[in-house]
C-alpha cells in the first residue's frame, strides 16, 4: 500500500518479551512485519495471535525464500498472567532452512 506505515515487531525468546499488546494496533493499515532473531522457540505474543487469528486456528503457514510453504501447529502455553503461542516444529524449520545463530527471519502478515 502506498503511504502505509508498517508495524515492525521484534520477537525474542525471552519470557519477558518486549512485544506486549500495547505495541500492536490492528487498525493500522499495511502489513504487520515480524523480525525474529535466531531462537530455539518462536513465541507469538497474545496480541499478535489475536490479530492474525492464530489464537483460534492454532495453525500457521511459513513460506521460506524459495517459496516453499510449511504448515505448523501452534501450542498455547501459560506465561505468568498471560498466554504465549509457541510454533511447533520451529527448530526443525530453522535447521531445514539453514538458519543459524546471528540470523534473523522476517515474517509478514
3-state secondary structure 25-73: CCCCCCCEEEEEECCCCCEECHHHHHHCCHHHHCEEEEECCCCCEEEEE
CATH number of 7-108: 2.40.330
Question: Quick one: cell of 48?
Answer: 499478535
pLDDT, position 88 = 94
In the prediction, which pLDDT does 32 show? 66
For the beta sheet containing 82-87, the strands, ordered from the edge strand earlier in sequence to the opposite edge, are 43-44, 82-87, 69-79, 59-63
Cell numbers for 31: 502489513
Domain ranges of the chain: 7-108
pLDDT at 46 (0 to 100): 83
Residues 84 and 45: beta-carbon distance below 8 Å: yes
CA distance 15 to 104: 19
From first to last of its 109 residues, the chain has per-residue pLDDT tens of 333 333 444 444 444 443 333 344 445 555 666 677 777 888 887 888 888 888 899 998 888 888 888 999 999 988 788 888 999 999 999 899 888 888 888 777 7
- Residues ≥6 apart with Cβ < 8 Å to 23: 7, 9, 47
Amino acid at each position: 500500500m502506498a503511504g502505509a506505515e508498517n508495524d515492525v515487531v521484534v520477537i525474542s525468546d525471552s519470557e519477558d518479551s518486549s512485544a506486549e499488546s500495547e505495541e500492536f494496533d490492528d487498525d493500522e493499515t499495511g502489513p504487520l512485519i515480524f523480525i525474529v532473531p535466531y531462537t530455539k522457540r518462536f513465541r507469538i505474543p497474545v496480541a499478535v495471535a489475536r490479530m492474525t487469528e492464530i489464537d483460534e486456528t492454532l495453525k500457521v503457514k511459513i513460506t521460506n525464500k524459495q517459496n516453499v510453504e510449511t504448515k505448523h501447529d501452534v501450542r498455547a502455553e501459560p506465561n505468568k498472567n498471560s498466554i504465549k503461542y509457541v510454533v511447533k516444529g520451529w527448530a526443525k524449520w530453522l535447521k531445514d532452512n539453514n538458519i543459524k545463530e546471528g540470523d534473523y527471519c522476517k515474517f509478514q502478515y
